[in-house]
């Protein structure tokens, strides 16, 4: 028995219990080591003419013995001598692969891609195994050697038997416990699943003997009631796909192949709406294959939804969903990113340095934006279908970033145009603006049909200006964060975004403003009485310069509009969030004359009745609930009596 050094024992204990968080990656690590061993031999065959072999002779084999509780990973690679076993497996964190890469780095290319870096992946075996035996025969050697350890005190090395060059790693699995079921790794399904999940794109074939079923020939004397008989048989099958589709040029892959990969790997029954293939070379090289789904997943807007792209390094899965690769507003994008330049941490489960990942994420974000812009400009019908599913997230991206992301995202937004009767971009709205128009006008409500009937929308349209009809709860928050749209890089020429139901739209002519001032002055007592009747429900009652055929409307002052109040009231602190409401009266409407008559006659009760009716009626038009529906109904009945 050769003892592990004291520091090696401590490191081994750390390896088994701390560095790896997921036991099932042991197979990924062993297959990666096997792939490295095969790569080394193939590399030598390219540089040493005395080594005669073809790539077809190289591969990896995985098998299990349920009775003996063993899992074996075999390769036909370079193999190890007795000294290699002692140096590579007896010294923890010594990486022969790292040395190989350092010595031959300039000569590596697409044909050779050494994965190993830290010399610790092998020891992940002890997370699931009570004993590990390694039998290896170096290429060209006459004898094989066996290394064995329980991962506690030390290891032994002795002569062994192996017919051909290569290495067998034989794991004797631990017994099951109440918490851990190691029998999972002693099934055909369990091992195939791990191979496909983590090592599907290792460049060499990973083979297993699998059980299949076939129908037996029908006996000649079988009657009409014969029931087909079947038998099980075993066959060696290549489990992994080897060549990842994302490393192939787009010109070499059909859309049908992309669609099939997407539906299989991302468990969707619909074809993707867009496929984006990226091959970047330079200071940071990576391959990416991205998909915009054809429909939104059912849980897209739930708290349980997890965004992210599958992250690979040298064809080996590192993370199933790397969140850092996508901003939240592109959380619907699915796909993979593969880069051999990433600096992984020792466990290969997370990244050591995030600067490279951030650089890739930034480039991917730009690529997605560019592709969506292309879709918007060249496939409008498809883009409108995409926006119906995912537009809310783009709007939320602007709001949640306090407008910082409006430059890349604002151009992707679509809104319904009241004037053009279709969905338009903000750029298309600006392009169609009337001469002299300085603002982009929008209205927010429950539906396009309802917004089209709003008095203030009709007024703005009557002035010759278009109104964007916004029906999603995030719309107004998005516009509030944006504040304006367009203009140059200094903001010159930008168009302010204005809600038609808030603030001063400044649509009235000078004559209309003068008339409103005169009416206000002449009816000062009436407006005072109306304000007293409504109390704290409104901040003031004024003459409207924006109404045409409606008797009254509710507008707001300050940052909170009626729609915002409606949405925010659904939260835990909703009762504390109130808009500053203003009751605007149409002085040209017959109702105003009725109000004046009641005021002139000194009938305070009737003035209060009219005030309540007009206020609640205006709220209903805005789609707001009224505080006391019973009282409102009684007031209507009282007026009719």
pLDDT at 15: 58
Check residue 98 and give its pLDDT: 46
User: Alpha carbon 582 to chain centroid distance?
Assistant: 42
Q: What is the pLDDT of residue 25?
A: 86
Q: Kindly state the average pLDDT of the residues 457-471.
A: 92
Higher-confidence residue of 47 and 176: namely: 176
pLDDT of residue 95 exceeding 90: no
Res. 330: pLDDT tops 60: yes
pLDDT at 112 over 70: no
More reliable by pLDDT, 557 or 135: 135
pLDDT of res. 502: 82
| Percent of the chain residues past pLDDT 90, beyond the cut | 51
Can you give the pLDDT at residue 215? 93
> What CATH topology corresponds to 2-212?
Heat Shock Protein 90 (3.30.565)
Q: What is the rounded distance in angstroms from the CA atom of residue 192 to the CA atom of residue 196?
A: 6
414-499 topology per CATH = Rossmann fold (3.40.50)
Kindly indicate whether the domain formed by 245-382 is annotated with CATH number 3.30.230.80: yes
Q: Note whether 377 and 400 are within 8 A (CB).
A: no
Please answer whether residues 399 and 478 qualify as being in contact, where contact means their C-beta atoms are separated by less than 8 angstroms: yes
Contact by Cβ (8 Å): 584, 555: yes
pLDDT at 472 over 70: yes
Q: What is the pLDDT of residue 386?
A: 96
607-628: pLDDT as tens digits: 999 999 999 998 888 888 888 8
- At residue 584, what are phi and psi to the nearest 5 degrees? -105, 130
Report residue 234's pLDDT band, with 50, 70 and 90 as the boundaries. Answer: very high
Band of the pLDDT at 564, cuts 50, 70, 90?
confident
Give the pLDDT band of residue 18 (cuts 50, 70, 90): low
Q: What class has domain 510-640?
A: mainly alpha
The confidence score (pLDDT) of residue 101 equals 47
Q: What angle do helix axes 629-640 and 604-621 make, rounded to 10 degrees? A: 120
Q: How does 601-636 read in b/e, with b if 16+ C-beta sit within 10 Å? A: eeeeebbbbbbbbbbbbbbebbbbeeeeeeebeebe
**Non-local CB neighbours of 79 within 8 Å, separated by 6+ positions:** 37, 41, 136, 137, 138, 139, 141, 165, 166, 167
Inform me whether the pLDDT recorded for 574 exceeds 70. no
Calpha distance 307→515 (Å, rounded): 57
Q: How confident is the model at residue 14 (pLDDT cuts 50, 70, 90)?
A: low
Indicate the length of the chain as a whole number: 641
| pLDDT at res. 439 | 92
Q: For the residues 288-312, what does the mean pLDDT come to?
A: 90
Scanning 379-454, the segments in alpha helix (DSSP H) are 380-400, 406-409, 426-431, 448-452
Q: pLDDT grade, residue 10 (50/70/90)?
A: low
Sheet holding 422-424, edge to edge: 422-424, 415-417, 467-470, 439-444, 495-499, 484-485
Report which secondary-structure segment, H or E, holds 188: helix 188-198
Hey, where are the domains in the chain?
Answer: 2-212, 245-382, 414-499, 510-640
d(CA 363, CA 133): 45
Q: Are the folds of 245-382 and 510-640 the same?
A: no
Alpha-helix residue ranges (DSSP H) falling in 199-346:
255-265
For 494-540, the pLDDT digits (tens) are: 999 999 888 677 777 788 888 888 888 889 999 999 999 999 999 99
pLDDT at 92 over 70: no
Q: Nearest Cα to 91, choosing from 114, 58, 121, 120?
A: 120
DSSP letter assigned to residue 420: T
pLDDT at 515: 86
pLDDT at residue 168 is higher than 60: yes
The mean pLDDT of 296-305, rounded to a whole number, is 86
Instruction: Please name the residues in contact with 181: beta carbons below 8 A apart, sequence gap of 6 or more.
Output: none
For 160, list phi and psi in degrees, rounded to 5. -140, 180
CB neighbour burial string for 118-133, b if at least 16 within 10 angstroms, e if fewer: bbbbbbbbbbbbebbb
Q: What is the pLDDT of residue 297?
A: 87
- pLDDT for position 572: 66
Phi, psi of 571 (to 5 degrees): -85, 175
Q: Which of these ranges, 351-365, 379-393, 454-468, has the smallest mean pLDDT?
A: 351-365
Q: Is the dihedral of CA 400, 406, 412, 417 positive or negative?
A: positive
Give yes or no for a contact between 458 and 549, defined as CB atoms under 8 angstroms apart: yes
What is the per-residue pLDDT for 632? 87
Query: Are 338 and 246 in contact, with CB atoms under 8 Å apart?
Result: yes
Give the strand order in the sheet containing 286-292. Answer: 274-280, 286-292, 334-338, 309-313, 316-322
| Residue range 376-430, pLDDT digits in tens | 999 999 999 999 999 999 999 999 999 999 999 999 999 999 999 999 999 999 9
What are the C-alpha distances in Å from 480 to residues 426, 486, 502?
A: 15, 15, 12
| Encoded tokens for 276 | 């984006």
How far, in Å, are 21, 185, 196, 314 from residue 176 at the CA level? Answer: 18, 11, 24, 34
- Considering only CA atoms, which of 430, 447, 435, 533 is closest in space to residue 484? 430
pLDDT of residue 568: 82
8 Å CB contact between 184 and 197 = no
CA of residue 309 relative to chain centroid, distance: 7
98-112, 132-146, 291-305, 410-424: which has the minimum mean pLDDT? Answer: 98-112
Could you tell me if residue 429 is left (phi over 0), alpha (psi between -120 and 50 degrees) or otherwise beta?
A: alpha
| pLDDT greater than 50 at residue 485 | yes
Given this model, what pLDDT does residue 508 score?
A: 76
SS3 613: helix
- Alpha carbon distance 48, 577 (integer Å): 78
Mean pLDDT of the chain: 86
């Amino acid at each position: 028995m050769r003892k592990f050094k004291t520091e090696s024992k401590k490191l081994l204990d750390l390896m088994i219990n701390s560095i790896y968080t997921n036991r099932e990656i042991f197979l990924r690590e062993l297959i990666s080591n096997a792939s490295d061993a095969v790569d080394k031999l193939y590399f030598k065959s390219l540089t040493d003419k005395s080594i005669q072999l073809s790539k077809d002779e190289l591969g990896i084999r995985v098998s299990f013995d349920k009775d003996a509780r063993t899992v074996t990973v075999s390769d036909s690679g370079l193999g190890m001598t007795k000294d290699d076993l002692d140096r590579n497996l007896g010294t923890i964190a010594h990486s022969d692969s790292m040395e190989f890469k350092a010595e031959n780095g300039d000569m590596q290319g697409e044909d050779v891609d050494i994965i190993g870096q830290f010399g610790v992946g092998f020891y992940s075996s002890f997370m699931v195994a009570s004993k590990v035996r390694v039998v290896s025969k170096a290429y060209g050697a006459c004898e094989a050697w066996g290394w064995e350890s329980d991962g506690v005190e030390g290891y032994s090395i002795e002569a062994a038997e192996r017919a051909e060059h290569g290495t067998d790693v034989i794991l004797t699995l631990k017994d099951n416990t109440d918490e851990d079921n190691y029998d999972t790794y002693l099934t055909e399904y369990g091992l195939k699943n791990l191979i496909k999940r983590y090592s599907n794109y290792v460049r060499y074939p990973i083979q297993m003997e699998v059980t299949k079923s076939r129908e037996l020939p029908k006996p000649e004397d079988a009657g009409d009631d014969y029931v087909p008989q079947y038998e099980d048989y075993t066959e060696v099958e290549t489990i992994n796909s080897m060549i990842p589709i994302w490393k192939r040029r787009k010109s070499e892959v059909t859309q049908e192949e992309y669609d099939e990969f997407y539906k299989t790997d991302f468990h969707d029954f619909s074809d993707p709406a867009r496929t984006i293939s990226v091959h970047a070379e330079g200071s940071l090289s990576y391959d990416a294959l991205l998909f915009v789904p054809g429909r939104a997943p059912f849980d897209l807007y739930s708290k349980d939804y997890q965004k992210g792209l599958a992250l690979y390094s040298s064809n080996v899965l590192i993370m199933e969903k790397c969140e850092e690769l996508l901003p939240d507003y592109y959380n619907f994008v699915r796909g993979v990113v593969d880069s051999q330049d990433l600096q992984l941490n020792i466990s290969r489960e997370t990244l050591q340095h995030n600067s490279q990942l951030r650089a890739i994420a930034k480039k991917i974000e730009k690529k997605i934006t560019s592709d969506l812009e292309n879709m918007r400009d060249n496939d409008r019908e498809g883009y409108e279908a995409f926006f119906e599913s995912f537009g809310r997230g783009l709007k939320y991206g602007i709001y949640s970033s306090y407008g910082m992301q409006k430059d890349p995202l604002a151009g992707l937004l679509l809104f319904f145009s009241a004037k053009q009767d279709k969905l338009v971009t903000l750029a298309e709205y600006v392009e169609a603006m009337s001469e002299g128009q300085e603002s982009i006008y929008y209205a927010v409500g429950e539906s396009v049909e309802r917004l089209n009937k709003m008095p203030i929308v009709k007024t703005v349209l009557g002035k010759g200006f278009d109104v964007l009809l916004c029906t999603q709860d995030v719309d107004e928050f998005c516009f509030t964060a944006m504040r304006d749209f367009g203009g140059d890089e200094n903001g010159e020429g930008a168009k302010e975004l204005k809600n038609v139901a808030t603030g001063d739209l400044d649509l009235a002519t000078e004559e209309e403003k003068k008339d409103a001032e005169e009416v206000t002055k002449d009816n000062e007592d009436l407006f005072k009485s109306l304000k007293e009747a409504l109390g704290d429900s409104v901040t003031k009652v004024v003459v409207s310069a924006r109404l045409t055929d409606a008797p009254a409307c509710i507008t707001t002052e300050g940052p909170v509009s009626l729609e915002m109040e409606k949405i925010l009231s659904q939260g835990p602190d909703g009762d504390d969030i109130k808009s500053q409401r203003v009751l605007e009266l149409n002085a040209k409407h017959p109702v105003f004359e009725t109000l004046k008559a009641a005021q002139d006659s000194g009938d305070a009760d009737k003035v209060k009745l009219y005030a309540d009716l007009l206020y609640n009626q205006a709220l209903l038009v805005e789609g707001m609930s009224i505080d006391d529906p019973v009282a409102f109904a009684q007031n209507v009945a009282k007026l009719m009596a």
